Amino acid sequence: MSNTKKPIVTDQAPSAIGPYSQAVAANGFIFASGQLGLDPATGEFPSGGVEAQAKQSLENVRALLEAAGSGLDRVVKATMFLKDMNDFAAANAVYGTFFSEPFPARSTIEVARLPKDALVEVEVIALAE
């Protein structure tokens, strides 16, 4: 097993808004930083509330994984952060359209606030190529 880490960068997902990588490949895994539902072309949230933001968050995750030569089917662990747990059913319905069995392990956490006042953020760990 290699002890190297390689940053994953793509313009198909929003740029990092701080001193971190969009994703990092290391030791056979891809560690994707939390993805807000920002449109990478405009830097804005799509209209449509938590459903639209969840969909864009997961599209951003997909873009990062594809840039690393991986994909959503290789995700082993996902974490979803919600501004309001009352949005769980709506966000979960969108999430379910991106994954199929065997589903990744997942945690969903309500948080006080997300960057840019987002409604949802998703981070994943996936198997590399």
The strand pairing partners of 126, in sequence order, are 30, 75
Query: In sequence order, what are the residues at sequence separation of 6 or more whose Cβ sits closer than 8 angstroms to the Cβ of residue 114?
Result: 36, 81, 83, 120, 121
Q: Please answer whether residues 128 and 103 qualify as being in contact, where contact means their C-beta atoms are separated by less than 8 angstroms.
A: no
| Distances in whole angstroms, Cα of residue 48 to Cα of each of 29, 37, 56, 64, 116 | 33, 11, 11, 23, 16
pLDDT above 70 covers a percentage of the chain that reads 98
pLDDT at position 118 over 80: yes
Q: What pLDDT is recorded for position 17?
A: 83
Q: Residue 100 maps to which CATH number? A: 3.30.1330.40
Q: What is the mean pLDDT of the chain?
A: 96
Q: What pLDDT is recorded for position 2?
A: 62
Tally the domains of the chain: 1
pLDDT interval class at 31 (50, 70, 90): very high
Spatial distance between the Cα atoms of 126 and 41, rounded to a whole number of angstroms: 25
Domain housing 120: 5-127
Spatial distance between the Cα atoms of 43 and 19, rounded to a whole number of angstroms: 18
| pLDDT tens sequence across 48-104 | 999 999 999 999 999 999 999 999 999 999 999 999 999 999 999 999 999 999 999
pLDDT interval class at 1 (50, 70, 90): low
What interhelical angle do 49-67 and 88-96 show, nearest 10? 40
Backbone angles phi, psi at 28, to 5 degrees: 85, 5
Count of helix runs (H) and strand runs (E) in the chain: 2, 6
The maximal CA–CA distance of the chain, rounded, in angstroms, is 44
Q: Please answer whether residues 69 and 98 qualify as being in contact, where contact means their C-beta atoms are separated by less than 8 angstroms.
A: no
